[in-house]
């Protein structure tokens, strides 16, 4: 019988479809095994391989934060058989009760746990894990995962370095690329560059048998993924200077910040009291103790404390007066143990000769002189009101980096406070306040608040004759970029030519002969031309705070420092020698005043 053309086309079409299906089946089953692997996933076990975190280095390549090996002992409860509890406790240096409690927990929640593998003991030292490895065959269901944890060759301060801890549910919610069991930098440098330091996890793939026991590596590791180590990060910190600064601040409450003026790079950043690296390496163990300490060692004063800057702020008022044309360096003003205002009120001052010009007013830190300067700024006739003149003053002050976060790459930086005319309008009523109302701003008191980093930045700004580069703590290296913000000069509103008029006064404050009236002669270092300014900031909660800023050398300065010591009295008493020793250590490599150094290091101002 003859087959019709229509029927023939149907047969050919069916044949083509069958050939395509057979070809596809051949490709899936013989050539491409991805579907087979996908179907096998239920019998495959992925064991995470954690990468070592990148190193944190100082500016000269010294290791601030390195790694050492630890092991997490893992357990798959469904695979555990009867074992010698006493032997396991001995090998792991734990108690029999601990092991029994854990095993009882696994039995209680066996349905919920299923075939999961869980941490049994975390961060076992390598030597201890080696003892377990020798007898591991006696403990089915137990296995180890290598982890790297942080170690600290230099005691560079926990507040600076920051700590790493296991992520919790709230962290994972905000960072969905993390999983339970991962670690992350939570504070300090560890947090700043977590993205580069963390590396990339890998895994080994194993097969389970029909009884759900792990038997072998899948396809001889063909589909394993190697962990990628984290990238190293180089900081601007000088490890030796940082450590020395911590020794000087031991037993004291406050901050010590050093900046390289030409680059804005932070050389040292000490918050005292702080977290030691011993505590940092076991932060979980010490966290409760640290959080209860009344001196708040976990509080980073360098960027989070807002202090009255005190008399070091007189430099800013002097510069504004010069720029506004209401002050000339040769102007003399009297001071009879202070400045009388509002007829019966007086802002006091220590005894010194009178009258003084600008040089000597800075050298002797005269309160009365700078009250006149501030009065002239607010009374400048080119403004229609005190409020308008004050707003202009505030603009000048903020151009020095006060009143707002500087934008440092260090986390949790606060901005301090520079009051506005609107604030005083709300407190006293519009046009109801004048210079006598806010006279304390003349000497860096009142409502002014500044962080030690901002005060150090002011020192760097004066050293540079009117500009600064935003302070930062990460150096740009291959693979690690920094924002252009940390390369650009930021100029104040004061002409650079005005700064020489205050710098000479700062030089005299340090380098005049004892008895000539300089308030910071203790900070003098032969041959270094240190320029400095003392401050004694009033403190409503106790003894005055000791403040000092300086830079050296006077020309082409290499370092600018701010020291702030709470409840320590005059600036010359503690802040000046501390900052001076730090400068000498950095520029000379060693100090020439062993008795002063021993006195500073050996004295505790903290009252227990």
Radius of gyration of the chain (CA): 34
Could you give the count of Cα atoms lying within 13 Å of 81 in the half-sphere of its Cβ?
6
Is the pLDDT at 40 greater than 50, yes or no?
no
Q: What are the counts of helices (DSSP H) followed by strands (DSSP E) for the chain?
A: 23, 19
Element (H, E) at 80: none
Residue 471: C-alpha distances to residues 22, 28, 246, 495, 585 (Å): 69, 60, 20, 21, 21
Give CA 163 to chain center in angstroms.
11
Q: In what order do the strands lie in the sheet with 559-565?
A: 265-272, 254-260, 559-565, 545-552, 531-537
Is the pLDDT at 299 greater than 90, yes or no?
yes
- Strand, helix or coil at 260? strand
Q: Is beta strand 265-272 parallel, antiparallel or unpaired with respect to 254-260?
A: antiparallel
Q: What are phi and psi of 184, to 5 degrees?
A: -145, 150
Residue 507: C-alpha distances to residues 31, 97, 365, 377 (Å): 82, 69, 13, 25
pLDDT of residue 93: 92
pLDDT in tens, 110-128: 989 888 889 999 889 999 9
Q: Which residues of 116-152 are buried (b: 16+ CB within 10 A; e: fewer)?
A: ebeebbbebeeebbeebeeeeeebebbbbbebbbbeb
Return the closest-CA partner of residue 563 out of 525, 526, 520.
520
All domains of the chain, ordered by start, with CATH?
A: 45-75+89-234 (3.90.1310.10), 239-476+487-602 (3.40.710.10)
Q: Are 490 and 468 in contact (CB under 8 A)?
A: yes
Q: Is beta strand 545-552 parallel, antiparallel or unpaired with respect to 345-348?
A: unpaired
Average pLDDT of the chain? 90
Q: Are 256 and 565 in contact (CB under 8 A)?
A: no
% the chain with pLDDT above 90: 71
Q: Are 275 and 159 in contact (CB under 8 A)?
A: yes
Is the pLDDT at 28 greater than 70, yes or no?
no
pLDDT of residue 35: 47
pLDDT in tens, 328-366: 999 999 998 989 988 788 999 988 999 999 999 999 999
pLDDT in tens, 173-219: 999 999 888 889 999 999 999 999 999 988 888 776 655 555 567 77
Range in 352-356, 513-517, 527-531, 569-573 the model is least confident about = 513-517
pLDDT of residue 47: 75
- Residue 157's pLDDT band (cuts 50, 70, 90): confident
Element (H, E) at 321: helix 314-324
Q: Which long-range contacts (CB under 8 A, 24 or more apart) does 369-372 make?
A: 369/333, 369/335, 370/314, 370/317, 370/318, 370/442, 370/443, 371/339, 371/341, 371/347, 371/439, 371/442, 371/443, 372/333, 372/339
Residue 52 per-residue DSSP state: P
- Residue 411's pLDDT band (cuts 50, 70, 90): confident
Q: What is the spatial distance between Cα 473 and Cα 467, in angstroms, rounded to a whole number?
A: 19
Sign of CA dihedral 119, 120, 123, 126: negative
Q: What is the spatial distance between Cα 161 and Cα 190, in angstroms, rounded to a whole number?
A: 6
Sign of CA dihedral 303, 474, 549, 466: negative
Residue 145 per-residue DSSP state: E
> 3-class secondary structure for 239-253?
HHHHHHHHHHHCCCC
State if pTM tops 0.85: yes
> Which residues fall within 8 angstroms of residue 474, CB to CB, at 6 or more apart?
192, 193, 233, 234, 235, 236, 409, 480, 482
Q: What is the spatial distance between Cα 52 and Cα 422, in angstroms, rounded to a whole number?
A: 53
Return the closest-CA partner of residue 511 out of 357, 370, 362.
362
- Strand, helix or coil at 294? coil
- Residue 46's pLDDT band (cuts 50, 70, 90): confident
Q: What is the spatial distance between Cα 317 and Cα 501, in angstroms, rounded to a whole number?
A: 13
Residue 398: C-alpha distances to residues 113, 389, 530 (Å): 59, 14, 26
Q: What is the spatial distance between Cα 564 and Cα 545, in angstroms, rounded to a whole number?
A: 7
Return the closest-CA partner of residue 456 out of 500, 413, 508.
413
Q: Can you tell me the mean pLDDT for 576-592? A: 97
């Amino acid at each position: 019988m003859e087959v019709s053309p229509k029927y023939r086309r149907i047969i050919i079409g069916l044949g083509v479809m069958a050939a395509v299906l057979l070809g596809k089946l051949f490709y899936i089953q013989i050539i491409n095994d991805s579907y087979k692997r996908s179907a096998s996933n239920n019998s495959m076990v992925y064991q995470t391989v954690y990468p070592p975190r990148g190193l944190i280095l100082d500016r000269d390549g010294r290791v601030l934060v390195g790694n050492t090996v630890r092991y997490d002992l893992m357990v798959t409860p469904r695979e555990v058989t009867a074992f010698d509890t006493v032997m396991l406790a001995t090998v792991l240096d734990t108690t029999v009760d601990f092991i029994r409690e854990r095993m009882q927990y696994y039995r209680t929640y066996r349905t919920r746990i299923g075939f999961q593998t869980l941490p049994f003991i975390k961060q076992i030292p390598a030597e201890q894990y080696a003892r377990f490895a020798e007898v591991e065959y006696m403990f089915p269901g137990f296995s180890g995962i290598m982890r790297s944890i942080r170690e600290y060759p230099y005691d560079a301060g926990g507040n600076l370095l920051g700590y790493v801890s296991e992520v919790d549910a709230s962290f994972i919610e905000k960072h969905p690329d993390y999983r339970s069991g991962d670690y992350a930098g939570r504070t300090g440098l560890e947090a700043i560059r977590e993205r580069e330091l963390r590396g990339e996890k890998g895994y080994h793939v194993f097969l389970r048998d029909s009884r759900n026991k792990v038997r072998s590596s899948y396809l001889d590791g063909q589909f394993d993924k190697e962990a990628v180590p984290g990238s190293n990060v180089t900081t601007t910190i000088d490890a030796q200077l940082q450590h020395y600064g911590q020794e000087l601040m031991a037993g004291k409450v406050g901050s010590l910040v050093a900046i390289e003026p030409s680059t804005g790079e932070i050389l040292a950043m000490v918050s005292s009291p702080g977290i030691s690296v011993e505590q940092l390496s076991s932060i979980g163990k010490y966290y409760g103790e640290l959080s209860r300490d009344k001196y708040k060692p976990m509080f980073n004063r360098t960027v989070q404390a807002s202090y009255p800057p005190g008399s070091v702020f007189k430099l800013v008022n002097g510069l504004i007066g010069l720029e506004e044309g209401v002050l000339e360096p040769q102007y003399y003003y009297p001071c009879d143990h202070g400045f009388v205002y509002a007829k019966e009120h007086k802002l006091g001052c220590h005894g010194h000769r009178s009258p003084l010009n600008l040089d000597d007013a800075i050298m002797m830190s005269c309160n009365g002189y700078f009250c006149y300067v501030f009065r002239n700024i607010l009374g400048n006739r080119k403004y229609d009101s005190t409020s308008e003149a004050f707003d202009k003053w505030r603009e000048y002050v903020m151009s020095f980096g006060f009143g707002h976060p500087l934008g440092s790459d260090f986390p949790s930086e606060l901005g301090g406070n520079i009051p506005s005319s609107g604030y005083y309008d709300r407190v006293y009523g519009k046009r109801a306040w004048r210079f006598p109302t806010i006279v304390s701003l003349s000497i860096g008191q009142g409502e002014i608040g500044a962080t030690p980093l901002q005060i150090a930045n002011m020192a760097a700004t004066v050293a540079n004759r009117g500009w600064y580069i935003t302070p930062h703590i990460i150096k740009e290296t291959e693979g690690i970029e920094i924002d252009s913000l940390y390369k650009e000069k930021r100029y104040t509103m004061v002409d650079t030519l005005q700064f020489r008029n205050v710098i000479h006064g700062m030089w005299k404050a340090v380098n005049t002969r004892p008895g000539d009236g300089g308030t910071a002669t203790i900070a003098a270092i032969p041959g270094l031309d240190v320029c400095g300014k003392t401050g004694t900031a009033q403190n409503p909660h106790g003894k005055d705070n000791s403040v000092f800023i300086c830079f050296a050398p006077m020309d082409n300065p290499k370092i600018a420092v701010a020291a702030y010591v709470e409840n320590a009295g005059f600036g010359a008493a503690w802040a000046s020698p501390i900052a001076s020793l730090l400068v000498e250590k950095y520029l000379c490599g060693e100090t020439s005043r062993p008795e002063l150094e021993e006195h500073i290091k050996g004295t505790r101002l903290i009252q227990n």
